Amino acid sequence: MRNQLLIANGQGFWGDSILGPVRLVREGPLDYLALDYLAEVTMSIMQKLRSRDPEAGYATDFVRMLDRVLPEAFDKGIKIVANAGGVNPRACMRAVVELARKKGCTGLKVGIVDGDDVLGRIDELLADGEAMANLDTGEPLNAIRDRILSANVYIGAQSVADCLAAGADIVIGGRITDPALVAGPMMYEFGWSATDYDLLAASTVAGHIVECGAQCTGGNYTRWREIDGWANLGYPIVDARPDGTFWITKHEGTGGVVSRDSVVHQLLYEMGDPTRYLGPDCTADFTSAIVEQDGPDRVRVSGVRGGAPTDTYKVSISYQNGYKATGQLVVSGPDARAKAELCADIVFDRLLLDGVSFAPDQKTVELLGTGVCHAGIVDPCDPPEVVLRIGVKDTDRRKVDRFGMEIVPLVTSGPPGVTGFAGGRPKATDIVGYWPALLGKDKVTTTVDVEEVR
């Protein structure tokens, strides 16, 4: 059993800077590199990609990133844990194994965690008495059964630990929870059991703090003027101990800051009941955490308490919920605001002339530059130019596409000063609805599979 573990998180979402993980591997000591690629809408995008190509459905950015760091990480003994597998972990594993062969990483072991994707089991689960009702509205799942795009269970640290125990140097999962990417290595390396709830709660808090990458090291920070080295912003590292105590830090010489305020700033992120933060492995009491500055760019967290988890998993279900289109124009002054408001009226009036109408809650008009981001808080203004952002939604795709045809004509048949149109007419795109639900843990079995590169 180790007595110390350095776990970094280099990816806060699919699309985060590739320099985060690359620099973490190159700029200092590390035992594990965690990478979080998934969000609720991401799963539906990946499912759609897989429906078109059986080898798609995972975060391809993960493979591109490995192309830059794999030999170096392997030589340094850095293990990698990611939920980049999306809805197709096995295809992701094949891509990583092929890359490792090309890079000459013989002996590298690539593992997957499978079992979170329950899309193909929906009818079976409903027939078995699993209602999977919407947690927000109470509606039964049958209300959207024919429109479901993806369905994934949030699995936890135990499955990650199992994959590491099977010898994996790289763990690829689907909808592994964000904190479990950190908690799994801690559980495995420190020999914790599934009932060590205080310890698992501590690792959950650690994973939660770093899950958004640089958001705890100065990114998205209220006192942003105090942050130096934005281009070289350091990504966070968890310096963990077997008793559940850990420190948040970053590599020396990197930009940003690790302070008690920056850590607490992230600790409160996406928080419901802080005394009962629910995860698949435990229930964590975030209010029990003692957060202390312990030197420059080093924050100590201790005293976290936890309890048993629920007997259900959370299920993230996405479904097709209509169509939308959004377009924008730049409207220059004088009287930019009045002209932009007129442009929006012209679009909807012309649609009415052609028999196309949208209810008030099906359309949006924003004049960016007049204070709309803080509407009701700041006084609106009349700047020298504004961006007119106008959009609609409807279940009828033809109506939404018809809307997209009326924006560019404003350049010559609207008030003067209309410009900035590029990229073609806005087209109808899917609206992805989110359906949170619960599923009995006895209905889900996760498996691990490890392949050695030869």
Condensed to tens digits (0 to 9), the pLDDT of residues 108-135 reads: 999 999 999 999 999 999 999 999 999 9
Tokens 């259900």, located at residue:
312
Tokens 């600790």, located at residue:
267
DSSP-assigned letters across all residues of 183-228? HHHHHHHHT--TT-HHHHHHHHHHHHHHTTGGGGTTTT-TTGGG--
CA 306, CA 168: separation in Å to the nearest integer?
A: 28
CA 387, CA 278: separation in Å to the nearest integer?
A: 42
CA 352, CA 44: separation in Å to the nearest integer?
A: 34
Both structure tokens of 450: 């490890």
Tokens 């479901």, located at residue:
148
Confidence of residue 246 (pLDDT cuts 50, 70, 90): very high
**Selection from 150, 88, 120 nearest residue 318 by Cα:** 150
**pLDDT surpassing 90 at residue 424:** no
CA 15, CA 301: separation in Å to the nearest integer?
A: 29
User: Which residues contact residue 257 at a Cβ distance below 8 angstroms, ignoring those fewer than 6 apart?
Assistant: 217, 218, 221, 226, 227, 228, 297
Percent helix, strand, coil in the chain, to 5, is 35, 25, 40
* Domains, the chain, ordered by start: 5-116+154-310 (no CATH), 321-435 (3.30.70.2750)
Give percent above pLDDT 90 in the chain: 90
pLDDT at 375: 82
CB 63 within 8 A of CB 172: no
DSSP-assigned letters across all residues of 87-141? T-HHHHHHHHHHHHHHHT-TT-EEEEEE--B-GGGHHHHHHTT-----TTT---G
Q: What is the mean pLDDT of residues 82-91?
A: 95
Q: What is the mean pLDDT of residues 29-54?
A: 88
Condensed to tens digits (0 to 9), the pLDDT of residues 290-347 reads: 999 999 999 999 999 999 999 999 999 999 999 999 999 999 989 999 999 999 999 9
Cis bond before residue 334 (omega within 30° of 0): yes
First to last CA, the chain: 29
Strand partners, 328: 389
